[in-house]
Amino acid sequence: MKTKIGVIAPHDSLQRIMYVAKEFEDISFVPYPYEQLEEVSAILKQYRNDVDQWFFSGVLNYTYAMDHNLITTEEGAFPPLHGASFFGILLEAQLNSNQVFRHVSIDTITSKEFDKILSYYQLEELTYYTHPFESNKSTNELVEFHTELYDQGRAEVVITSIQDVYLQLREKNIPVYRVTPSYLSIKMIIQFLEERAQSNLYRNSQVAVIGCRIEMEPDNLEELYYSFKTKYQELDVRRQLFEIAEKTNGSVMQMGDGLFFIFTTRGELSIETEGDLFSLIDEIHLQTNLQVKVSIGFGETVLQAEQHVRLGFRHIKDYEKPTLLVVDDDQSITAKQQEDEINYRTTEIGQSWKEKMKDVNLSPGVVSKITAYANHYRREQFTSQDLARWMKSTERNGRRILAEMERVGIVEQSGEAQSGERGRPRKVYQFTGN
């Protein structure tokens, strides 16, 4: 099956990209030309799911799509403007004008990047004025930037990568050239998108298991098992699970009293599936006053996916809001709520802490989870009370974890917090950052 890549570009850039695309016989390219940048929105809304990946001609249309939430970072890319692209167009400008330009106005490239290019080729005598690309800046501001430099005699020629800026400057009779991605840059991004598309295809074919466990109350557990009311409620749960299985092309299996699995693939799950699962949790709680735990596991095999579901159940705590715990194939865990989510890992930590973790009496998952919560709540400093709340444990356990992390140098004491009550103040900690 051929990879299908959609190409979004103005007409002139599209021709260059499609010229390079002819070399890739195993990839199907679908061109989507546009005149005005706003047309990108209509293109992606109508054709977003018709291709595997999106090739954007430059930073402007790519950033426009990202800022308007038309795609995600995993769905597209654009070719960077390397030094070869700039020097190629500068050489063209000099040959056309039969003169050497020493004062240049450019945009969409940072001063730091440009300094590296000039120092590498020993061209420090070239004077340049750059306006780095900013998504919140209009093209009119770039036109004013270049026009002012030219009118003041500080720039002899303008090099831009944005079509609208190029056209407006031409109307003002300002010598302007439009830089486009080089042949190698275009080829590199096509290869990157092809690899990503194949990776996504493999990823979407992974096994996915949705686990749904109804938490029975210990006091009336036996009564619930054998009452007809419970059996009717169970049938209602099965009906809702069958609806979810139908939408995800999966199958439902009951693994025991109150425990159900839906077997499907990763590619069949969607945001709509998450909404259905949250609705399931709410309805069961309203009808029976029972809590429902939902864990989703991914894996290369059915066994691995099922093990990850059970791992998710072990990590589920008594969250105040309905929560889906998603365990990926690398055992990274995402706790999803309807308007929020927390990500952490159970098997890995940062490279800088691996040596320290050899002597600590804690699992890497605990450290990763604390890091994830601290980042999520933007807490550079935290106390044992914070850990108790994040980990759903006692404050005594929080103090033990922090003491152990402090012993090996993962955290350090940064101060004390007065609680306003009698007793010792709480110690405040922060990550060492080593």
Give pLDDT, residue 397. 87
For the CA atoms of 353, 354, 355, 361, the dihedral, rounded to the nearest 10 degrees, stands at 90
Give pLDDT, residue 410. 84
pLDDT at 266 over 80: yes
Tokens 């894996």, located at residue: 299
Query: CA–CA separation, 104 vs 124, rounded Å?
Result: 13
Reported confidence tier of residue 239, pLDDT bands at 50, 70, 90: confident
Query: DSSP secondary structure string, 128-184?
Result: EEEE---TTS-HHHHHHHHHHHHHTTS-SEEEES-HHHHHHHHHTT--EEE----HH
Question: What token pair was written down for 224?
Answer: 């619930």
Q: What is the pLDDT of residues 74-103, one digit of tens each?
A: 899 998 876 667 777 888 888 888 888 888
Reported confidence tier of residue 180, pLDDT bands at 50, 70, 90: confident
Give pLDDT, residue 420. 44
Q: What is the pLDDT of residues 304-348, one digit of tens each?
A: 899 889 888 887 765 667 788 888 887 788 888 766 666 656 655
Would you tell me the crossing angle of helices 384-391 and 364-376 to the nearest 10 degrees?
A: 100
**What is the arithmetic mean of pLDDT over 217-235?**
62
* Residue 279 contacts residue 297 (beta carbons within 8 Å): no
Query: Lowest mean pLDDT: which of 77-86, 276-285, 378-387?
Result: 77-86
pLDDT averaged over every residue in the chain: 82
Query: Lowest mean pLDDT: which of 20-29, 80-89, 299-308?
Result: 80-89
What is the rounded radius of gyration, in angstroms, for the C-alpha atoms of the chain? 29
pLDDT at 169 over 70: yes
Is beta strand 411-417 parallel, antiparallel or unpaired with respect to 27-33?
A: unpaired
Is beta strand 291-299 parallel, antiparallel or unpaired with respect to 207-215?
A: antiparallel
**What is the arithmetic mean of pLDDT over 132-160?**
83
Reported confidence tier of residue 65, pLDDT bands at 50, 70, 90: very high
188-193, Cβ contacts within 8 angstroms, sequence gap of 24 or more: 188/79, 189/55, 189/77, 189/78, 189/79, 190/5, 190/20, 190/21, 190/24, 190/27, 190/55, 192/77, 193/3, 193/5, 193/52, 193/53, 193/54, 193/55, 193/76, 193/77
How far apart, in Å, are the Cα atoms of 331 and each of 32, 86, 388?
39, 44, 23
How far apart, in Å, are the Cα atoms of 202 and each of 9, 195, 197, 231, 274?
29, 11, 9, 40, 22
* Residue 338 contacts residue 324 (beta carbons within 8 Å): no
How far apart, in Å, are the Cα atoms of 124 and each of 128, 274, 299?
10, 56, 54
Reported confidence tier of residue 7, pLDDT bands at 50, 70, 90: very high
How far apart, in Å, are the Cα atoms of 116 and each of 124, 130, 362?
10, 14, 45
Beta bridge partners of 297: 209, 327
**What is the arithmetic mean of pLDDT over 211-228?**
64
Among residues 149, 338, 192, 86, the alpha carbon closest in space to that of 157 is found at 149
**What is the arithmetic mean of pLDDT over 189-201?**
90
pLDDT at 136 over 80: no
Q: What is the pLDDT of residues 392-411, one digit of tens each?
A: 778 888 888 888 888 888 88
Give pLDDT, residue 70. 92
Is beta strand 103-107 parallel, antiparallel or unpaired with respect to 157-160?
A: parallel
**What is the arithmetic mean of pLDDT over 66-76?**
90
Q: What is the pLDDT of residues 145-154, one digit of tens each?
A: 899 988 998 9
Three-state secondary structure of 309-347:
HHHHHHHCCCCCCCCEEEECCCCEEEEEECCEEEEEECC
